[in-house]
Structure 1
Amino acid sequence: MPSTFESYDHTIRAELAAWQRQMQRPPTLVNRLTRRVQARLNALLPEKVHQAITTAIREMVRGVLFGSQHLTAKPLREGTLAERETAVRTRIRYYRNTAAVEGGVTGAGGLLLGLADFPLLLGLKLKLLFDIAALYGHDVHDYAERVYLLHVFQLAFSGQHTRNDTYRRLADWDAYRHTLPPDVQEFDWRTFQQEYRDYIDLAKLAQLVPVIGAAVGAVANYKLLEQLGETAMNCYRMRWFASAQAAATSE
C-alpha cells in the first residue's frame, strides 16, 4: 500500500508530464499567424520606442529581482513535496486575490490609474515567484536562481515559439546555468519585453476602457497570476524530481 506522500508524488508526476507535453507542442497555425501580426505591429514602432520600453521593463524587473533580498523568505529546508505545495497554493491564492483587487481598483480609475497597474502587477508577479522558490527550497539570493525566475516568468508569458526554447533551457537547467552570462544586463531583455507585452496587451488595453475597466482588470490580473503560479509550480516540480532521481542514482 503506497503512502499518502507516494500517492501524491505519483499524481503530481502525471500532472507534470501532461504540462511538459503542452510546453513542447509545436506552434499551431493560429500561433504562427498571431506571431506574424505581432511582428508587423512591433515593426511599426520606432526603434527608439522599443529601446525605451525595453529599458523601462528591464529596470523595473531588475529593481524587484535584485532589490528585494530583504523581503524574501529563507528557503524551506524541510518538508515533503505535498507539504510544500500546500503552502505554495496558499501563496498563489493570496497574490492572485491581491492582484484582482488591484486590477479592479486601477481599472475603475481611468487611464492614469490603469497605466499604474503595469508596474504594480509586475511587482506582485515577481514577489510571488520569490515566495514559490523559497517554499521549494531554493535560495534566490543566488544570482543563477534569480535568472531562473526570469526564465519561469518568460515561460508563463510568451508565445509558443519562445515558450518551446525557454522550456528546453529550464528542463536542462543544471547544464544551462553554467552557460549564464555573469551580468544580467546580457539577458535578452528585448525578447523578454516584447513577448510579455504581446501576451498581455489585449487584456490590459481593455482595462483602460471606461465602465468595463474594473471588471476586466480584476479578471485579467486574477488569470495572469494563476497562470504564473501554475507555471512556476511545474518548473520547480521538474527540479524536485530531477534532484530526487540524481540522489537515488548516487546511492
Structure 2
Amino acid sequence: MTPYERTVQKELMKWQKKMLKKSSFVNRISKRMQTKVQTMIPEKVQRMLTETIKRMTQVMLFGSNITTIKKCEEGLSLADRDILVEQKLKEYTKVAVVEGAGTGAGGIMLGLADFPLLLGIKIKFLFDAATLYGFDTKQKEERLFILHIFQLAFSSDEHRHRVFQTIDEWDSKKYEIEEIDWEKYQIEYRDYIDFIKMLQLVPGIGAVVGAYANYQLLDRLGEYTMNCYRMRILKQKMLHIGKVNDE
C-alpha cells in the first residue's frame, strides 16, 4: 500500500467506529422530537415526499436516462480519484446552496419544490463519484451500492448500523433488489431531513436555512460517499494482494 492509502486506512478505522457507535442520549432525544414534529406535518405533504423518494429511487435503479461524466483514465491512484471527487462535490454543493437559498426565499410552494430538486442533485453526485472511483454505474449492482450509500448517509443510527454492515461485506456477498425494504428506506430518508427542510418553509428565514441545510446535507453525503468507495477499493486491493501472495 502507498503512504496515502495507509493514511486513508487509518482514517477509515476511525470512521467505521463512528458508524457503529451507539446512539447518544442527545440523538435519542432528537429522534423523539423529530417523530413528534413528523405528526405535525400534513399527511398530504408526507405522501408527496414519500412518492418523490420512491419515483426518483426507481429512476436511479432502473432508468437509463441518468447521464454521468466520462470514465477516468485507467491507473489513477486513490489520491488522484479523491481529489477529483472533492472537486466534483464542491461543484454540486454550490448548486445545492444556490438552489436551497432560492427556493427557501420563495415561500412554501418553492420550499417544497426544493425537496425533489435536492434529491436529484444528490443522486447525480453519487453517480459521478462512482464513475470517478472507477465503477460502472450501468451495472445494477453498482446502482444498488449507490442506494446503500444514500441510506447510510441519511438514516437513523439503528438503521445505519445495518446498512454499514452490508456495505462492509459488499464484494463478498451478492445483494438483490428484492432484499431492500423500500418502505423502510423511504421513511428513514424522509424522517432524516423532514425537520431540517420544514424550517426552510418558515417565512423570513427560509433562504438562510435552505442554503445552510443543503450545504450540510451535501457535505455529509460527500463524506459518506468517499469513505464507502475508499473502503471498498482498499478491501479489493488487499484481497488481490492476498491472492497474489498465495500463488
Residues 68 and 208 (structure 1 numbering): CA distance in 2 closer, same or farther, change over 3 Å?
farther
Q: Which moved more, 1:16-25 or 1:33-42?
A: 33-42
Q: Which residue of 2 aligns with 1:88?
A: 85
Secondary structure of the residue aligned to 2:2 is: helix
Q: Which moved more, 1:43-52 or 1:235-244?
A: 43-52
2:146 pairs with one of 149, 158, 176:
149
Does residue 13 of structure 1 match 2:6? no
Structure-2 separation of matches of 1:14 and 1:233:
14
Report how far residue 26 of structure 1 moved: 1.5
TM-score normalised by the chain length of structure 1: 0.87
Q: Which moved more, 1:158-167 or 1:55-64?
A: 55-64
Q: Percent identity?
A: 45
2:234 pairs with one of 241, 246, 251:
241
Tell me the matched-pair count: 243
8 Å Cα contact 1:204/1:217 also seen in 2: yes
Structure-2 separation of matches of 1:47 and 1:179:
33
Does residue 223 of structure 1 match 2:224? no
Residues 100 and 47 (structure 1 numbering): CA distance in 2 closer, same or farther, change over 3 Å?
closer
Q: Which moved more, 1:49-58 or 1:124-133?
A: 49-58
Structure-1 separation of matches of 2:75 and 2:152:
28
Q: Which residue of 2 aligns with 1:204?
A: 197
Residues 220 and 70 (structure 1 numbering): CA distance in 2 closer, same or farther, change over 3 Å?
closer
8 Å Cα contact 1:108/1:213 also seen in 2: yes
- Cα distance per residue 1:24-54 (max 9 Å; x no partner): 1112233334445555666799999877654
8 Å Cα contact 1:54/1:189 also seen in 2: no
TM-score normalised by the chain length of structure 2: 0.89
Q: Which residue of 1 aligns with 2:97?
A: 100
Structure-2 separation of matches of 1:40 and 1:212:
22
Q: Which residue of 1 aligns with 2:133?
A: 136
8 Å Cα contact 1:100/1:217 also seen in 2: yes
Does residue 23 of structure 1 match 2:19? yes
Structure-2 separation of matches of 1:239 and 1:90:
21
1:62 pairs with one of 58, 63, 73:
58
8 Å Cα contact 2:152/2:160 also seen in 1: yes
Structure-1 separation of matches of 2:195 and 2:15:
25
8 Å Cα contact 1:104/1:216 also seen in 2: yes
Q: Which moved more, 1:46-55 or 1:153-162?
A: 46-55
1:123 pairs with one of 120, 123, 136:
120
Can you give the 5+ residue segments of structure 2 that lack an aligned partner in the other structure?
none
- Cα distance per residue 1:78-136 (max 9 Å; x no partner): 30001111100000000011100000000011111101000000000000000000011
